[in-house]
Amino acid sequence: MKTRTPTLRLVRMSQLSPEKRREAWRNIKENNHQLAALLSDPQFQSLKDHFDGDVLLKAEDLEAVDGKY
C-alpha cells in the first residue's frame, strides 16, 4: 500500500501584503514566543540581510490568522 506524504506549504513573508504580515507577526508573537524571539534577534536579521535571505514559514503555523495563506 502506498502512503501519501503530506506536502509542506511555505509562506514567504516578504510576499505577504503589509496587513497580512502584521497579522502574521501578531499571531507569531502571541502563539510562538521562540519563533518571535528568533525573528526579532539582531543577529538573525544581520545574517538574513548579509545573505539577502528571506523568511519562509510553514503555512500551517500562520493559518490561525485567517484560515488560509
Work out how many domains the chain is built from and give that number.
1
In a domain, residue 17? The reply is: yes
Tell me the pTM.
0.73
Containing domain of residue 15, as a range?
Answer: 11-62
Mean of per-residue pLDDT scores for the chain: 86
In a domain, residue 68? The reply is: no
Bridge-partner residues for 11, per DSSP? 57
- pLDDT tens digits, 1-25: 677 777 888 999 999 999 989 988 9
**Which residue bears the cell 501578531?**
26
In a domain, residue 37? The reply is: yes
* Predicted confidence band of residue 69 (pLDDT cuts 50, 70, 90): low
